[in-house]
Amino acid sequence: MRPKVVLHNAVSADGRIEGFDIDVGRFYALTSTWAEDVTLAGADTILQSGTPADEPAVPPPSVEPVVRKALLAVVDSRGRVRCWDALRTCGYWRDAIALVSSATPEEYLAYLDGRGVEWLRFGDERVDLAAALETLTERFGARVVRADSGGGLNSALLRAGLADEVSLLVHPALAGEGLRSVFRSAPDAAVRLRLTHEERIGDGLVWLRYDVR
């Protein structure tokens, strides 16, 4: 058993996720569609968000669980995310956990323990996403996981056959070459999609939803 996985991204008309003005308010307003249990993010996305790093002298924050909010799970096999205090207390999630692999440095695991951050280990060199999703269901009751991430994690989920829905909020802009794309690398074979929803929103935005076939 694994949860439904939704890839939800704001993109330009040429499939980029940067280099244009994103309507952040509308993008996140749409997330209520799925009432996600877990928000799945990659380390790159967290690092590029500008979230302030932890202060060494600050003790781990106590987090009051809020049932209505999702759990944040960060895929970080290389042990790069060091802003857990801010992630756990920003109010968007009820708590945050790290998904790591056997290759994750022991120093980083000790750092997580020192901050009071729960971590779960899956896979060897990289996080075994299938096993991680199964555990999120078994341990946390996750039925819906929304990937709030970039091309790396999106592509990994597609290649592993773990993505069930692709949601794109398309902005009326062409960002150009050399910028990050919604999918970093293609799977071995073309992924067939079935259009389930199309809607014009606001000033030139188009919301497209696809089931992965």
Q: Residue 164: how many CA atoms within 13 Å on its side-chain side? A: 12
What's the rounded Cα separation, in Å, for the pair 153 and 79? 16
At 167, is the secondary structure helix, strand, or coil?
strand
- 78 DSSP assignment: T
- pLDDT (tens place) for every residue of the chain, 213 residues total: 899 999 999 999 999 999 999 999 999 999 999 999 999 999 999 998 877 777 665 555 555 544 469 999 999 999 999 999 999 999 999 999 999 999 999 999 999 999 999 999 999 999 999 999 999 999 999 999 999 999 999 999 999 999 999 999 999 999 998 889 999 876 667 889 999 999 999 889 999 999 998
What residues are paired with 6 via a beta bridge?
A: 146, 165
Instruction: Count CB neighbours of 191 within 10 A.
Output: 16
Instruction: Count CB neighbours of 77 within 10 A.
Output: 23
The pTM of the full predicted model, rounded to 2 decimals, is 0.90
All domains of the chain in start order, with CATH: 1-35+147-213 (3.40.430.10), 38-142 (3.40.430.10)
What's the rounded Cα separation, in Å, for the pair 8 and 31? 8
